[in-house]
Amino acid sequence: MSFGNVSAVLVHGAWADGSSWGKVIDRLKEQGINAIAAPLPLTSLRDDVAALDRVLERIEGPVVLAGHAYAGAVIGSTRAGNIAALVYVAALAPDEGETVSDVFYRGETHPQSPQLAPDRHGWIWLPQEAFAQAFAQDATPQEVAVLAAVQRPISVSCISEAVGRPLWKERPSWFLVAEQDRMINPANQHDMARRMNARVRSYQTDHTPVVTAADAVTHVIVEAVESVSAR
């Protein structure tokens, strides 16, 4: 199938960088879809949205915008005119007036979910052992080692800024629910997807399916791209 000039822009979450999308990028390119990973500074929600907007400015044609985890708040906060659809991957989707922290801590936490607190500089790091225990328990030891080695901390400002009217109220959206997620309660994911009126795709995967279930993530993104292409 021809996807025309539809591009996929992929946005990483906290404690990660664009390389976390590597497997998905390979699979999308194999199907003829232009895929770009947008780098976020993780310094504040406002800064992250601005960084995403700079990437989107460089792309001609419609965009399917996919965000993992924290990046759900970022993709919902942009106002770029070329976004045709949104894909949430085990992501957070705050509504107007809510913060990332509000939705992240909603519901029961998993027993192996890490205790998180900012350091004296206002940065939140993921404890080393949490990568194998909660962030990506389905990953190989080699994948866990790389994820831990390249982790980027997130500023408290990212999770404490209230969002405006989210873009998912105006664009079609898909939501990949990670049923074995130990970071964001799967029931919470279902609740967010429901109020978004998103197309829900449920998989038995951990919090980081962009690494551990790349085929599933790719399938959902391709579904969104096909929908945009068919218009």
Domains in the chain, CATH or no CATH each:
7-229 (3.40.50.1820)
Q: Is pLDDT at 81 greater than 70 in this prediction?
A: yes
Long-range contacts of 225-230 (CB under 8 A, 24+ apart): 225/3, 225/6, 225/8, 225/33, 225/64, 225/85, 226/1, 226/3, 227/85, 227/172, 228/6, 228/62, 228/64, 228/84, 228/85, 229/1, 229/2, 229/3, 229/4, 229/6
Q: Is pLDDT at 171 greater than 70 in this prediction?
A: yes
User: Looking at residue 231, what is its pLDDT?
Assistant: 72
The pLDDT mean for the chain works out to 96
Q: What is the average per-residue pLDDT within 26-51?
A: 97
> pLDDT higher for 106 or 83?
83
pLDDT digits (tens, 9 = 90+) for 181-198: 999 999 999 999 999 999
pLDDT above 70 as % of the chain: 99
Q: Is pLDDT at 1 greater than 60 in this prediction?
A: no
Position 2 confidence tier, pLDDT thresholds 50, 70, 90:
low
Q: What is the average per-residue pLDDT within 67-83?
A: 97
Q: What is the average per-residue pLDDT within 58-67?
A: 96
The tally of CA atoms less than 13 A away on the side-chain side of residue 96 is 7
User: Looking at residue 108, what is its pLDDT?
Assistant: 85
Position 109 confidence tier, pLDDT thresholds 50, 70, 90:
confident
User: Looking at residue 103, what is its pLDDT?
Assistant: 95
Position 114 confidence tier, pLDDT thresholds 50, 70, 90:
very high
Tokens of 230: 């068919």
Q: What is the average per-residue pLDDT within 114-123?
A: 95
